[in-house]
Amino acid sequence: MADLTTLRSAEIPRPNAKRVHPILAILGIYAASRIVTLIYLFIASGLAQEGSRFGAGSSIERFIVGWDAQWYWIVAYSGYPSTLPVTETGHTAENAWAFMPLYAWISNVVGMPFGSWAVGASITSLVCGFLACVGLYRLLRNRISHVPAMWAVVFLANSPLAALFHVGYAEAMFLALLLFALDAVLKRNWVVLYVLIPVMGFTRPGILPFSLMLGLYLIWRWTRRRIDPLPGAEMANIIALGILGAVIGFAWQTIAGLVTGDMGAYLSTELAWRRNWIPDAVPHFYPFDGWIAGLDFWFAQWHVPSVLGWTIFFAALIATGWALMRARPIVALGVEIRLWSASYLLYLLAVFFPQSSTLRLLLPLTPLVGALALPRAWWWRPLVLCASLIYQWFWIYFCYAQGVQIWQIP
């Protein structure tokens, strides 16, 4: 395999080379990919049958407000309950406290001229998806050069989860904010993060691993201070931002507790969704318990011996850790992306219950797509793109055209 430095240099255009401005190129890529996804959604709406999640004769508008998007709609129009709803068994029922408000409110404002929250949500997601593509390019262009960074944008715009750039989910907004925040860390533009961190924190869960990443980044910078000076002011900013991220990360739990009078309101609400799979799940949250209970549940469903299942899981963990530390395409992306990826994966292991939404929950690992965009054989990038488009169709078909099985929840 050729040296990565040589590969990157080979794709850097000459200073006098003429090319389309990157923003215009990204806009063209994004527009074309959105047409493809809209075609998929239109076909899926026609394939929806009686008994499916959305029923026969469905529409793209119903898809936009379907699944978790309905909770953002509830937040926009009804707000949050002051008393937690309770099931017949005495457990906290599903409610709006599991969903943070910023995306719902912005979508509501955007949709007011159209008299439709669905239109506002779709526009918000579309714009945020474009901003996410711009943010990904900005983040990667100085690490892997223009052409691979642009291919990474192609992969993101046509990813298996590209429907999230159309429907009423907060993922596109959070991803855009995250990519610009990571770019700010890479460029050491700390002032911008004082704005981005609070906004991220009230868009979607995920600010706590960003705070952890800043802590790990500070340790890394400290170990390299002789070759990369770490001024006191910069150290103070990193520490302050890490603390800010931690405070914001727990703020929503505190707000939910103060409004409802139950300081465990947010966590008990999150556990309500887990009981859809495990009715007798523990009533309290414990770190890492979700994966332990979840994998045992899925091993039983798939008739996989527990020992074999856990062996495969730990082997996958070891392989992932090795890839983040040693795999040359990932190392080429820079330490900031690697630290974020490790922090976010640890966060998922600590708080998440593995189920059909796992793929969607992995969207914040988008910067790693840069490793797929690095040059290899001529057929590699077209193959990745084709695979993404095929997977995108099946994800839309199973989650929206059908959506009747436990494994079809997006």
What number is the average pLDDT over the span 92-121?
A: 97
Bridge partner residues of 86 (DSSP): 92
For residue 6, being part of any structural domain is answered with no
Rounded to an integer, what distance in angstroms lies between the CA atom of residue 171 and that of residue 124? 11
Instruction: Mean pLDDT check: name the lowest of 161-165, 284-288, 367-371.
Output: 284-288
What number is the average pLDDT over the span 275-279?
A: 81
For residue 369, being part of any structural domain is answered with no
Torsional class of 58: left (φ above 0), alpha (ψ -120 to 50), beta (otherwise): beta
Tell me, what's the pLDDT at 403? 82
For residue 210, being part of any structural domain is answered with yes
Q: How far is CA 286 from CA 177, 275, 289, 293, 350, in A?
A: 29, 15, 5, 11, 8
Tell me, what's the pLDDT at 31? 98
For residue 8, being part of any structural domain is answered with no
Torsion sign across C-alpha atoms 285, 340, 372, 313 = negative
User: Which of 403 and 32 is assigned the larger pLDDT?
Assistant: 32
User: Is a pLDDT exceeding 70 seen at residue 18?
Assistant: no
Highest mean pLDDT among 44-53, 154-163, 282-291: 154-163
List, in sequence order, the alpha helices (H) in 275-379: 289-301, 306-326, 328-331, 335-351, 358-361, 369-373
pLDDT digits 0-9 by tens, 160-202:
999 999 999 999 999 999 999 999 999 999 999 999 999 999 9
Q: What does the block give as tokens for 365?
A: 């690992």
> 280 pLDDT band (50/70/90 cuts)?
confident
For residue 58, being part of any structural domain is answered with yes
Rounded to an integer, what distance in angstroms lies between the CA atom of residue 109 and that of residue 70? 16
Does the global pTM surpass 0.85? yes
Angle, CA of 124, 117 and 27, to the nearest 5°: 20
For residue 14, being part of any structural domain is answered with no
Rounded to an integer, what distance in angstroms lies between the CA atom of residue 126 and that of residue 210? 24
Rounded to an integer, what distance in angstroms lies between the CA atom of residue 245 and that of residue 318? 28
Rounded to an integer, what distance in angstroms lies between the CA atom of residue 150 and that of residue 188? 23
Share of the chain above pLDDT 90, in %: 83
Range of the domain at 146: 22-362+377-408
For residue 214, being part of any structural domain is answered with yes
If one counts the domains in the chain, the total is: 1
pLDDT digits 0-9 by tens, 332-362:
999 999 999 999 999 999 999 998 899 999 9
Rg (CA), the chain: 22
For residue 1, being part of any structural domain is answered with no
Tell me, what's the pLDDT at 7? 42
Tally of CB atoms within 10 A around 23? 12
Contact between 179 and 187 under an 8 Å Cβ cutoff? The reply is no
User: What 3-state class would DSSP assign to 84?
Assistant: coil
